Amino acid sequence: MSDPLRLGIAGLGTVGVGIVRIVQKHGDLLAARAGRPIVITAVSARSQKDRGVDLSGYAWEDDPVALAARDDVDVVIEVMGGHEGPAKHTTEAALAAGKDVVSANKALLAIHGQALAEAAEATGRVIRFEAAVAGGIPVVKSLIEGLAGNEITRVLGVMNGSCNYILTRMEDAGLTYAEVFEEANQLGYLEADPELDVGGIDAGHKLALLAAIAFGTQVDFSGVALEGIGAVTIEDIRQAADMGYRIKLLGVAQMTGRGLEQRMSPCLVPATSPLAQLQGGTNMVVLEGDAVGQIVLRGAGAGEGPTASAIMADVMDLARGTRYATFGQPAHTLRRARAATAAIPAPYYLRLQLLDKPGALAKVAAALGDAGVSIDRMRQYDHHDTAAPVLIVTHKTTRSALDEALARFTQTGVVTTAPVAIRIEAV
Amino acid sequence: MSDPLRLGIAGLGTVGVGIVRIVQKHGDLLAARAGRPIVITAVSARSQKDRGVDLSGYAWEDDPVALAARDDVDVVIEVMGGHEGPAKHTTEAALAAGKDVVSANKALLAIHGQALAEAAEATGRVIRFEAAVAGGIPVVKSLIEGLAGNEITRVLGVMNGSCNYILTRMEDAGLTYAEVFEEANQLGYLEADPELDVGGIDAGHKLALLAAIAFGTQVDFSGVALEGIGAVTIEDIRQAADMGYRIKLLGVAQMTGRGLEQRMSPCLVPATSPLAQLQGGTNMVVLEGDAVGQIVLRGAGAGEGPTASAIMADVMDLARGTRYATFGQPAHTLRRARAATAAIPAPYYLRLQLLDKPGALAKVAAALGDAGVSIDRMRQYDHHDTAAPVLIVTHKTTRSALDEALARFTQTGVVTTAPVAIRIEAV
């Protein structure tokens, strides 16, 4: 049996402790599979409080940057979080000291991924980040390795469990966004800054990482068109369901003739699609390739066990000698993609409030027609006041044509409130 | 850029041609990702007929064993099929000649996997077989690598698209098994020997391969309790649906206190589970680990593109330098597992025909009680003759207790035909 692989863990929150638990519990299993022992030699965290695991056998470092440079550490596991400060310094220090890095830090990699990948390349080290995307689901591995023979045509998915919890809970319990947001916050389901979740930022980081792998491009979080779930109403959830759809916070990355389109926004998906059936905090990623067709991966998107499992997958790969470039191909070969927005036509769901008087519907239909948007289905439904709610599902249209139609609506004089427009993603 | 990785393809059926297409179409993409060119140097098949791809740049070998020994081949791709004869000889010859092998051959590996893994180990070569299980879904990779930090607790799934097509088509069209079997056969959905599909043998091979990886055991196809779908009736599909279940040909592997249980048989699964929602020829594998929880993987289980995609995933791994033992740990460390059957209690669905006379139901209930089987739900439904159909869902019971109850049924004198008993798998 070969030399042990020696881990230094920077960060002893939920995930760090989860890694310690796995290494301590499954030492024999890991060694049998890797052909060498996996050992922890040093750990680092802000305080030496009791975390319910025995850390006495490991060296302690107050400073994670010092941990990253230790001679008795082969792989630095960065599970502190944050896209600047200690996490960034530790990762850079580890690479500079000739260590491989295993990271759960989606924000750091989404923002500084290209520079870090180049730093790793310069020192012949690797950065692995399975745990940064969709928790325990081996999605980074599936994309870089499992689909390596494919031209990737689209990557999409539900990548934030908290948002999916909020949306499914609104539907199941008939509660408003504000009510469920409060509930989720109380239950500790949201980040300290909830906007990271409900604003789509956290999921956007994950999407940017997958897009870089899928399309061989430099990771570009700033190119993600972000829209959170704060404006989703129970009314739209219900009406969408009636029309055969569910609303999900959906990330979609696709290479278009006009550049790389990355969107993280509420979308309607057909109720029969696997994405629509996703309940609660689970994540689902759909990978589409020209040879493989469509692959769907589903599992827990967060939590101690799933995230530690993903970290250990990367550790075991390193122990077995698997090494490749951070985003699946050398950092210097990754192209800088032009960011495209709304390049891909789609059908849209529209909800309008119309003045309840003759000819109102005709004016709306005309506005759509004048903008070049054609109607697939239209429905006026029960109401009890002077405004008549109308639902429209359009045929496939460009976003610019739709925006023109929305502008024309206000000129009709019959649309009483701002229309709701939600993209329908085919999947 | 490093030396090219040189492939020799043994077999030019659908999959072999699919590999040629990918290598020819995506040469630049593959080289960028692998850091070296992927080239085909030699091919072998039974006849030199036109296959719609240009093979003129490759050396031709009539004999795949000769191809396996060529100096200009680094990796032998075995896509001929068959668990004896040329496929076996070619694989053995390749290993003996110091070549790595990438195989789509589930039968060969399920039956001779241990000996082949030992042969690979003896020569320091590797055998990879992603394409042998569930087509394009990266399930072997997910299990060996993605979940390498987990103790695997259960592996299950729908692994034969033809059977799933037959079962969902029976339900959707209200046709009998015989009718849909004929239809599927006409459409070319079944193997030349259909029993490989509908008898569960092909899916059983896949299950045996996954079980060996999951539990660190020597692959043991003979230990798979096999039951095909030939006895599934439209009546049971309908009644199960009414009770909230769907019938699937389900493979389940689980380590028990009494040994390794491997089953491939029709099962009821809750209609809300992802497995139940699987339509047509798609495959789905569920992996359960102590840290990661449940991971669900779904995709096309067969076909040129998906299978060739899986082959290329293994090729790309080899090109990148990824190397590990055939079943994820050294062949000599794989344990010989005792085969356990029916070790894990489960609820069962029972359908009986009773004489339509007073006390009949009480006798059946008593027979169950005497055998120690308790009833969760029981329903007698509409009928138009002298026999009354009765559905029973039991609470969790052992198979032996259930078998005793079935034996007691015949002694009651009121059960007119052989009872149907189908296991309900929680998932």
What is the per-residue pLDDT across B349-363, written as a single tens digit (0 to 9) for each?
999 999 988 899 999
The pLDDT tens digits of the residues spanning A297-307 come to 999 999 999 99
- Minimal CA separation from A301 to chain B, in Å: 10
* Interchain proximity A149–B315, CB inside 8 Å: yes
Percent of chain B past pLDDT 90, that is, above it, reads 92
pLDDT digit string, tens, across residues B38-51? 999 999 999 999 99
Please count the residue pairs, one from chain A and one from chain B, whose beta carbons lie less than 8 angstroms apart. 199
Summary mean pLDDT of chain B: 95
- Check A313 against B146: CB less than 8 A apart: yes
d(Cα A34, Cα B396) in Å, to the nearest integer? Answer: 38
One of A99, A141, A206, A363 is an active-site residue; which one? A206
* pLDDT reported for residue A387: 83
- Report how many helices (DSSP H) and strands (DSSP E) chain A contains, helices first: 14, 16
> Nearest 5 degrees, angle CA A414-CA A417-CA A422?
110
Say yes or no: A190 contacts chain B, CB-CB below 8 A: no
Tell me what pLDDT residue A403 has. Answer: 95
Considering chain B, what percentage of its residues have pLDDT values greater than 70? 99
**Could B333 and A32 be called an inter-chain contact, meaning their C-beta atoms sit closer than 8 Å?**
yes
Whole-angstrom Cα distance, residue A124 to residue A323?
10
Strand B224-226 to strand B259-270: parallel, antiparallel, or no bridges (unpaired)? parallel
Query: Nearest Cβ partner of B316 from A26, A29, A145?
Result: A145
Helix axes A14-25, A304-320, angle to 10 degrees: 60
Interface subset of A 13-32, CB within 8 angstroms of B:
18, 22, 26, 29-30, 32
> pLDDT tens digits, residue range B257-285?
999 999 999 999 999 999 999 988 899 99
pLDDT attached to residue A216: 98
Q: Is the pLDDT of residue A245 over 70?
A: yes
Q: Tell whether B217 is within 8 A of chain A (Cβ).
A: no
Instruction: Tell me which chain A residues have a C-beta less than 8 angstroms from the C-beta of B305.
Output: 290-293
- Look at strands A245-256 and A259-270 and give their pairing: antiparallel
User: What's domain A149-299's superfamily in CATH?
Assistant: Dihydrodipicolinate Reductase; domain 2 (3.30.360.10)
**Mean of per-residue pLDDT scores for chain A:** 95
C-beta separation of A43 from A55 below 8 A: yes
**A87-117 tens-digit pLDDT:** 999 999 999 999 999 999 999 999 999 999 9
pLDDT per position as a tens digit, B102-146: 999 999 999 999 999 999 999 999 999 999 999 999 999 999 999
> Stretch B308-336: mean pLDDT, rounded?
97
Which residue in the block uniquely carries the two structure tokens 């630049």? B28
Between CA B307 and CA B303 the distance in angstroms is: 6
- A interface test, pick of B2, B255, B297 with most A CB neighbours within 10 Å: B297
> Could you tell me if B324 lies within 8 Å of chain A, comparing CB atoms?
yes
pLDDT confidence of residue A380? 87
Write the pLDDT tens digit of every residue in A333-345. 999 999 998 889 9
How many CB atoms within 10 Å of residue B121?
A: 18
CB contact under 8 A, B299 and A300: no
Residue A406: pLDDT above 70?
Answer: yes
As a three-state string, the secondary structure of B345-410 is CECEEEEEEEECCCCHHHHHHHHHHHCCCCEEEEEECCCCCCEEEEEEEECCECHHHHHHHHHHHH
Report residue A81 as tokens. Answer: 């979080």
- Rounded Cα distance between A99 and B340, Å, is 45
B322 CB near a chain A CB, below 8 Å?
Answer: yes
Q: Which of A175-179, B94-98, B373-377, B381-385 is least confident?
A: B381-385
A191 a known binding residue? Answer: yes
Question: What confidence score (pLDDT) does residue A288 get?
Answer: 98
Phi then psi for A21, rounded to 5 degrees? -60, -45
Q: Which residue in chain A has the smallest CA separation from B302?
A: A292
CATH superfamily of B146-300: Dihydrodipicolinate Reductase; domain 2 (3.30.360.10)
- Portion 107-136 of A in contact with B at CB < 8 A: 130, 136
CB contact (8 A) between residue B312 and residue A321: no
Contact B305 A292 (CB under 8 A): yes
Report the CATH architecture of B5-103. 3-Layer(aba) Sandwich (3.40)
* The pLDDT of residue A2: 82
Q: Is B212 an interface residue toward A (CB < 8 Å)?
A: no
* Per-residue confidence band for A402, with pLDDT thresholds at 50, 70 and 90: very high
Taking CB atoms and an 8 Å cutoff, what residues of chain B touch A273? none
Each domain of chain B, given as residue ranges in start order, spans 5-103, 146-300, 348-423
Tokens at B18, concatenated: 């699919």
In the predicted model, what is the mean pLDDT of residues A240-268? 96
B335 touches chain A (CB under 8 A): no
Q: Are A299 and A134 in contact (CB under 8 A)?
A: yes
Q: Residue B381: which residues within 8 A CB-CB, separation 6 or more?
A: B239, B389, B390, B391
Question: 3-state DSSP call for residue A213?
Answer: helix
- The residues near B43 (Cβ < 8 Å, ≥ 6 apart) are B8, B9, B10, B12, B16, B20, B55, B58, B59, B60, B61, B67
pLDDT at A409: 94
pLDDT on residue A315: 98
Query: To the nearest whole percent, how much of chain A has pLDDT over 90?
Result: 92
Indicate the class that CATH gives domain B348-423: alpha beta
Find the largest Cα–Cα distance for chain B.
84
Task: Answer yes or no: is pLDDT of A382 > 80.
Answer: no
Q: Say whether A99 counts as a known binding-site residue.
A: no
Which of these is catalytic: B206, B248, B363, B396?
Answer: B206
Pick from A18, A147, A323: which is nearest to B313 by CB? A147
Report d(CA A276, CA A288) in Å as an integer.
Answer: 17
Asked if residue A2 lies in contact with residue A319, where contact means CB atoms within 8 angstroms, the answer is no
Whole-number CA gyration radius for chain A: 24
- Residue A63 pLDDT exceeds 90: yes
Is there a catalytic annotation at residue A141?
no
What pLDDT, on a 0 to 100 scale, did the predictor assign at position A388?
Answer: 87
Report whether pLDDT(B1) > 70: no
Check pLDDT > 80 for residue A1.
no
Q: Which residues of A touch B281 (CB under 8 A)?
A: none
